[in-house]
Amino acid sequence: MKTDMASRARTGPPDLWDPVVRITHWGLAVIVILNALITDGGSTLHVWLGWIGMALLLLRLVWGLLGPVEARFSAFPPGLRQAVSHLRALATGRRVGHYPSHNPAGALMIYAFWASLAVVTCTGLVLTGGATPMQVAADKAAVASGDWSALAREEADGGEDGGAFRKQVEEVHELVADLILILAVLHVAGVAVESRAMRRNLVAPMLAGLRRSRGK
Ligand code: HEM
Ligand code: HEM
C-alpha cells in the first residue's frame, strides 16, 4: 500500500478514476444542475432527483472509507495551510506538487460540495416531511382529485409556528443550492487552471481515462 501511494505521489492523480467516483461525480453534477436550474422545486421529479442525489452522496462517502487508495478521504485530507500554499504556487507560476489524489485546494472545494449537498438534502427532507418520492406523487395526485387532507402532508407545514420554521428551512435550502452553483463555477475554473499548470488534462480521468500514449 505504501509503495502504491509513493509511486502515485510521483505520478499525480490516477489516469482513470474508478467507476464509483466517476458515476457519483457526473450523477451529482447533473442532478445539481437540473434541481437548481430546471425542475420545479418540490415537484415529484425534483424530489426523485434529490433522493437519487442522496443515494449517490452516501455511496461516495462510504467509498471514501472503503474504495481504492486515491478515492479515500485519507488521500486528500482537508488542510487550509496546504491549500493556501498550493494556490500561492499556482499564482506565482512556481511548480505545483503532484498529489496522489485531489490537490489540497481541490480537496477543500470537494468537502465544501459534500457538506453543502448534505445540507440541501436534509433541508429538502424536512420540507417534504421525509416523504418518499412515491408518497409525494401520491399526495399530489390526492390533492389534484380534491383530497385537501393530503395538502398538509405534501407541504409538511405543521401549523403556524411550523409555517415560519418551514420558511426558514426553505430559505436555507435555496441559499445553499445557490452556493453549490457558485462553487461549481469556481470548481470548473479551478480544473481548467490546474490542468494548465500540471500540463495534464484532469477531465479525461473523470470521463474515460487518459490514453497511455499521451506521454505517460
Ligand atoms: C441536488 C439537490 C437539490 C438542489 C440543488 C435543490 C434546489 C432547490 C431550489 C433552487 C429550490 C427553489 C426553486 C423553486 O422554488 O422552484 C428548491 C425547492 C424545493 N426543494 Fe430542492 N433541491 C435539492 C434537493 C432536494 C431534495 C432532496 C428534496 C426533498 C427530499 C427537495 C425538496 C424541495 C422542496 C419541497 C422545494 C419547494 C420549497 C417550497 O417552495 O415550498 N429538494 N430546491
Ligand atoms: C454542479 C456540478 C459539479 C459538481 C457538484 C462537482 C463536484 C465534484 C466533486 C464532489 C468532485 C470530487 C470527486 C470525488 O472524489 O468523488 C469533483 C472532482 C472533479 N470534477 Fe467536478 N463537479 C461538478 C462539475 C464538473 C464539471 C462540469 C467538470 C468538467 C470540467 C468537472 C470536473 C471535475 C474533475 C476533473 C474532477 C477531478 C479533479 C482532480 O483531478 O482532482 N466537474 N467534482
Q: What residue ranges of the chain have pLDDT lower than 50?
A: 1-10, 212-216
Does residue 117 have its Cβ closer than 6 Å to ligand 2? no
* pLDDT at residue 152, rounded to an integer: 66
pLDDT per residue as tens digits for the range 119-162: 999 999 999 999 999 999 999 999 888 887 776 665 655 555 66
Mutate-to-test residue for ligand 2 from 191, 201, 207, highest number of ligand atoms within 8 A of CB? 191
What's residue 163's pLDDT? Answer: 84
Residues in Cβ contact with 122 at an 8 Å cutoff, skipping those fewer than 6 apart: none
Q: Determine whether the shortest distance from the Cβ of 166 to ligand 1 is under 6 A.
A: no
- Give the nearest ligand 1 atom to 128 CA: 35
| Domain architecture of the chain: domains with CATH | 8-207 (1.20.950)
What burial class does residue 20 get, using C-beta atoms within 10 Å of its C-beta: 0-12 exposed, 13-18 middle, 19+ buried? middle
| pLDDT value of position 198 | 84
